[in-house]
Amino acid sequence: MRTVGVEEELLLVDRESGEPRALSSAVLARAARETAENPAAERHADDYREPADEAFEKELHGQQLEFATQPRESMDSLTEEVVRWRADAARHAGDVGAAVAALATSPLPVSPAVNTGSRYQWMEEQFGLTTQEQLTCGCHVHVSVESDEEGVAVLDRMRPWLPVLVALSANSPFWQGSDSLYSSYRSRVWGRWPMAGPTEIFGSAARYEEQVDALVATGVLRDRGMVYFDARLSHRYPTVEIRVADVCLEAASTVLVAALARGLVETAAREWRAGVAPPEHGIGLLRFASWRAARSGLEDCLLHPVTMRPEPGHEVLGALLDHVRDALEDSGDLTLVQGGVKDLLKHGNGAEVQRDLLRRTGSLREVVAECVRRTQAG
């Protein structure tokens, strides 16, 4: 069974106004202090969690807080861990007068504050306004692979399916107080990085390494950690890291993305072992597919990953389920994924929920308040 780990970025907001607040350093200090005062406080009966000061991390902006789960085989245990870390993030934020919201962009206007540190300062100097405006929250899924060769074969074969994950996770319709007309505007902002986006077919681990080395050698990037491909070999773990999803409003949607990601990795690995060649869609078509997914989410057409022709979003989502069905059955995730997709189509993704909240309340502050409640409730 391949293991799955999740990294989620959460938005720190004022408990009263809903406006983002640059309090990540204070929240991290609070978590570290609690761990130091009572090392057992951050652990539960199953004892699988690391201390909070190791699970939570600083991100590019002070209005962000990131946590990472442990690698999990069971989606039930992954769900439990995501819910617990969200609750702990909310508790630590509350101790410094803030709240957390699983929002991929802030609905309310914000002046992003880049965190201190040589890495972040270098990025601000190198990329200017692009760095300053990158207050976006994503969800990264790590799926274990047996080798770099298998990992690159997986990257080559799942490229056209990644935009579907953008569509179902879309949770960023608002930008600086206005409706962006996108479901995932985060992915459009993220795409401003020169090193972000879909990749060519690599063909081998050696070719992948050559390309990454060539990018770093340009001097545009500080190091390999800044290679922001839609999916990449992790430079820290023996995993494929899928980086296209918005942070999801509901924890259940995060787990749905994780289960589908594992299904995509396993399906691609099986195709590679069977000698099935990767789809030869060019980067231009893949960018169009990603744009279409970010624009409409599941409410309109998507580009079908096989034909690259527009089809209704729910039908493309069904095609994804068919594509990974065998892998989901073998991992025991099929029922969970089918139920998650059914709920998603019935209730909408985060972007649909946010827009519905605005229609009903007329207030972006109320949108944030409800998203805070949902994040804390799990």
Please, what are the domains in the chain? 4-377 (3.30.590.20)
First to last CA, the chain: 26
319-348 confidence digits (pLDDT tens): 999 999 999 999 999 999 999 999 999 999
Query: 73-101 burial string, b = 16+ CB within 10 Å, else e?
Result: eebeebbbbbbbbbbbbbbbbeeeebbbb
- Gyration radius of the chain's alpha carbons: 20
What's the pTM?
0.95
DSSP 197: B
**How do strand 231-233 and strand 178-179 relate by DSSP bridges?**
unpaired
- Which pairs from 327-331 meet CB under 8 Å and 24+ separation? 327/262, 327/263, 327/264, 327/266, 327/267, 327/270, 328/259, 328/263, 330/266, 331/1, 331/2, 331/259, 331/262, 331/263, 331/266
SS3 string, 141-159, reads: EEEECCCHHHHHHHHHHHH
Q: Please return the burial class of 29, using the count of CB atoms within 10 Å of its CB with bins 0-12, 13-18 and 19+.
A: middle
- Distance CA(246)–CA(21), nearest Å, equals 20
- For residue 23, is it left (φ>0), alpha (ψ between -120 and 50) or beta? alpha
Checking if the pLDDT of 37 tops 90, the result is: no
**How do strand 138-144 and strand 4-14 relate by DSSP bridges?**
antiparallel
175-230 confidence digits (pLDDT tens): 999 999 999 999 999 999 999 999 999 999 999 999 999 999 999 999 999 999 99
69-105 confidence digits (pLDDT tens): 999 999 999 999 999 999 999 999 999 999 999 999 9
Listed in sequence order, the DSSP H helices in the chain are 24-37, 52-55, 75-95, 118-127, 129-132, 148-158, 162-169, 185-190, 205-217, 251-273, 283-296, 313-331, 334-347, 350-361, 364-377
229-252 confidence digits (pLDDT tens): 999 999 899 999 999 999 999 999
Confidence of residue 46 (pLDDT cuts 50, 70, 90): very low
Selection from 47, 48, 69, 49 nearest residue 57 by Cα: 69
